Structure 1
Amino acid sequence: MVLHIPTLLVVSVFVFFLMGLLTLHAWYRETREPSLAYLGGMMLLGALGVVLVSWRDRGADFIPILFGNVVLLLSAAFNWTAMRTLVGRKPCLPGILAGCVIWLLMCLIPAFYHSMPNRVLVYSLLAFGYGVLTTLELWRSRHSLDVAFMPALLLTVSHTVFYAVRSATDDGLPVTKALLGNGEGVPFFSFMLFESMLYVIGIAYITLAMVKERAELKLRAAAFSDPLTGIGNRRAFMLHATHLLDDSQQRAEPAALLLCDLDHFKRLNDTYGHPVGDQALIAFSGVLMDSLREEDVFGRIGGEEFACLLGACNEPTALEIAERVRHAFARLSILEPGLLSVSIGVVTTHESGYDLSRLLSEADQALYGAKHQGRNRVQTLRSLYLGLA
């Protein structure tokens, strides 16, 4: 069955134009993701290109041959740029314009300009080239992309393969014969229009899904991240610490909780200003990252309060780590020596069990004892009770 080509042309222009407007609307109203802007531009250029290449046998054939194909090649370049910006790379202006420049230079050769098979071959190879570039952008970023990119990759590969096949098999079909449904190339011409519409609809939907997935991941990360220090916030700590305690209990392994509070933090802010206080918080977060293991859980759970849960850790090891943190923070050169210090309360599951709320409560008591005994010290709840006794 041969599809009605005049209807396909009208529908393809309508689909390209509508999908372009919807994609640009999604870019403008929601994400401002550059890839959506380039993708919307690709579709609008595709609509314009189809209109221009259909303008044959009207006394101005240079319009479809020159401008129509240039616009379509620019559309293919925008498709490549959309995927390029999606993976975090900057647009490449020379690459965007390369296809158009090559086409215009080829059209200066009369043997090329007046030969439809040659024009179809060169255009198909250029479109194939942009398809390969688009595929490579997705493939080489496959390990860094945090979204489901495989549908976009497969769709792009199939679209690229189509133009490889076209370059080898299609000699072209004059638009006048295509509109009349005459000629051996009518079925292929119909399929080309149909394939283009499927690709535009598919790549728009898939790209929008990838952008939405990435936005959701960023929101989720922001919900579990402290905006100043970049480490986990209270919500993240409570969630991951609960999981670590459950695993430790199942394996019958000890765990230790360190509750850290920067000393005289209000005085630090009042004396040196909030920017210096922020530097101290960021610096202490860096000390924790350098001092703890990857499997440990830590986060900023209050203004100047930090909590660390150490898995497979007994009291002597926890005290050693706490002292390491205390000394490392005191040695920082943000302020004069002696002005930066931290008090740390330490409890373990051996005395307090595996309930996180109880661990935090008893670590807070130990921390209060450290503050009460002069600050800049590590205090366990057990030694505090023994001292009180």
Structure 2
Amino acid sequence: MQLNIPTLMLVDIYILALVGILMLHAWRRGRREPTLGYLAAMLLLGALGTVLGSLRGIGMDYVPLVIGNVVLQLCGAMNWTAMRVFAGRQPHLPGICAGAVIWALLCLNPAFYESLTVRVALSSIVTVSYAGLSAFELWRSRKSLEVAYVPALVLTIFHMGFYCVRIVVDRGMPFEQALVSSGQGTSFFSLLVFETLLYAIGIAFVTLAMVKERAELKFRAAAYCDPLTGVGNRRAFMSSGEYLLASCEHRQEPAALLLCDLDYFKRLNDNFGHAAGDEALVAFSRVAVSSMRKQDVFGRIGGEEFACLLADADDEAAAQVAERIRREFADLPAQEPGLLSVSIGIAGTREAGYDLFRLLSLADEALYAAKDKGRNRIQRYTAD
């Protein structure tokens, strides 16, 4: 198979410009996600650099050799910046400009300007450096990304490896000679254009997929989170609770549910305002979470109603946790003595089985019994 250089460069320019425009559109439509903006800049700069690089042999070699390569160095810098921003870090302006500035300054040296081999080596080194930085940004943030970053990492490492090979084997071929040789067989320059095109397309779509996946995770987290307290909402509690009960049933471990309702919450809102009520909800959430273990499930399932599902906990252990929550919440400073208190109903799998709705129903009965007995207390469910 022969790779015709003029055809490759024409396809390269067309596809880079097209994908760059599409990425620019995605950036503008996607709440201006900065990663997509820098990626669009990378693609458009790549198209422009290829256009400028194709102008050799028309009597203005400084345009492709100096300006064209400066643009291509900025293209690599935009790739690195896109990965850096996606990883949650700020753009680094000196690093963005470093490759382009080094190239422009070295072109002032006649020895460098006239040596094709040295220019090819430096261009490859800069490309390898920016690709290596891009891979490093993904790798160092792999634990916090929470998206499928491996395809982007593999693509970038392969791109970096290709240019490492170029440093070793490519001593440079004049552009006019490369055009002639492309009609006789595939040259390394042809492979270079082809690989760079494939990388640009691949990294664009892989990054777009990562941005989309992270946006979906954020929307899903928002749908399962109570915005005031930061704990799970009713949907999250029901989903996680059913999963926890299924695990406990599989291991034949007991579980217990605490249904908590803040006492005199309406009076707190009426006398001191809704801001005071919100503070009480946040404070109770903080107290309850501090008593939970990693495997337990906690959520706000109503206005001032919370539920705690304790894994591997019998009635006695559940009562101890409930009493600790009740006591610590009652000890918080309040606008008037006794204003902050909570009633807690307890039900276990011994009475309700591993049915979350049944547990909630029995715990609700116990909660009403605690309210009837004067509030600010815990009450276990009994058949009576």
Provide TM-score, normalisation by structure 1: 0.94
- Please tell me whether the aligned partners of residues 5 and 181 of structure 1 are also in contact (alpha carbons under 8 angstroms): no
Residue in 1 that maps onto 2:327: 327
Residue in 2 that maps onto 1:156: 156
Select between 165-174 and 323-332 the one with higher mean Cα deviation. 165-174
- Shift, 1:182, TM fit: 6.6
Residue in 2 that maps onto 1:292: 292
Q: Distance in 1 between matches of 2:141 and 2:248?
A: 37
Q: Distance in 2 between matches of 1:180 and 1:267?
A: 88
Residue in 1 that maps onto 2:245: 245
Query: How high is the sequence identity, in percent, across the aligned residues?
Result: 59
- Shift, 1:185, TM fit: 10
Q: Amino acid of the residue matched to residue 193 of structure 1?
A: V
Question: Residue 258 of structure 1 aligns to a residue in which SS?
Answer: strand
Residue in 2 that maps onto 1:168: 168
Q: Amino acid of the residue matched to residue 187 of structure 1?
A: S
Q: Amino acid of the residue matched to residue 14 of structure 1?
A: Y
Q: Amino acid of the residue matched to residue 367 of structure 1?
A: L
Structure 1 residues 57-95: Cα deviation after superposition (integer angstroms, max 9, x where no partner): 222222112111110000000001111111111111111
User: Aligned pair in 2 of structure 1 residues 7, 381: CA closer, same or farther (>3 Å)?
Assistant: same
1:134 aligns with 2:158: no
Residue in 2 that maps onto 1:9: 9
1:268 aligns with 2:271: no
CA RMSD of aligned residues (A): 1.9
- Shift, 1:33, TM fit: 2.1
- Shift, 1:108, TM fit: 1.7
Q: Amino acid of the residue matched to residue 3 of structure 2?
A: L
Q: Distance in 1 between matches of 2:310 and 2:59?
A: 80
Q: Amino acid of the residue matched to residue 209 of structure 1?
A: A
- Please tell me whether the aligned partners of residues 45 and 74 of structure 2 are also in contact (alpha carbons under 8 angstroms): yes
User: Aligned pair in 2 of structure 1 residues 184, 81: CA closer, same or farther (>3 Å)?
Assistant: farther
Instruction: Name stretches of at least 5 consecutive residues in structure 2 with no aligned partner.
Output: none
Residue in 2 that maps onto 1:210: 210
Q: Distance in 2 between matches of 1:8 and 1:221?
A: 45
Structure 1 residues 202-226: Cα deviation after superposition (integer angstroms, max 9, x where no partner): 1111111111221222222222221
Residue in 1 that maps onto 2:107: 107
Instruction: Name stretches of at least 5 consecutive residues in structure 1 with no aligned partner.
Output: none
Residue in 1 that maps onto 2:75: 75
- Please tell me whether the aligned partners of residues 173 and 183 of structure 1 are also in contact (alpha carbons under 8 angstroms): no
Residue in 2 that maps onto 1:46: 46
Q: Distance in 2 between matches of 1:238 and 1:73?
A: 53
Question: Residue 187 of structure 2 aligns to a residue in which SS?
Answer: helix
Corresponding pairs, count: 384
User: Aligned pair in 2 of structure 1 residues 113, 262: CA closer, same or farther (>3 Å)?
Assistant: same
Question: Residue 168 of structure 2 aligns to a residue in which SS?
Answer: helix
Select between 291-300 and 163-172 the one with higher mean Cα deviation. 163-172
- Please tell me whether the aligned partners of residues 170 and 185 of structure 1 are also in contact (alpha carbons under 8 angstroms): no
Q: Distance in 1 between matches of 2:247 and 2:56?
A: 72
Residue in 1 that maps onto 2:23: 23
- Shift, 1:32, TM fit: 2.8
Provide TM-score, normalisation by structure 2: 0.95
- Please tell me whether the aligned partners of residues 3 and 182 of structure 2 are also in contact (alpha carbons under 8 angstroms): no
Question: Residue 294 of structure 1 aligns to a residue in which SS?
Answer: coil
Structure 1 residues 161-183: Cα deviation after superposition (integer angstroms, max 9, x where no partner): 11111122222222233334479
| Aligned pairs (5 A) from 1:180-195 | 180-181=180-181, 187-195=187-195
Structure 1 residues 22-62: Cα deviation after superposition (integer angstroms, max 9, x where no partner): 11112221353211111111000000001111122222222
- Shift, 1:335, TM fit: 4.1
Structure 1 residues 108-159: Cα deviation after superposition (integer angstroms, max 9, x where no partner): 2111112211111111111111111111111222222211111111110110
Residue in 2 that maps onto 1:364: 364
- Please tell me whether the aligned partners of residues 12 and 197 of structure 1 are also in contact (alpha carbons under 8 angstroms): yes
Q: Amino acid of the residue matched to residue 324 of structure 1?
A: R
- Please tell me whether the aligned partners of residues 3 and 185 of structure 2 are also in contact (alpha carbons under 8 angstroms): no
- Please tell me whether the aligned partners of residues 172 and 185 of structure 1 are also in contact (alpha carbons under 8 angstroms): no
- Please tell me whether the aligned partners of residues 182 and 190 of structure 2 are also in contact (alpha carbons under 8 angstroms): no
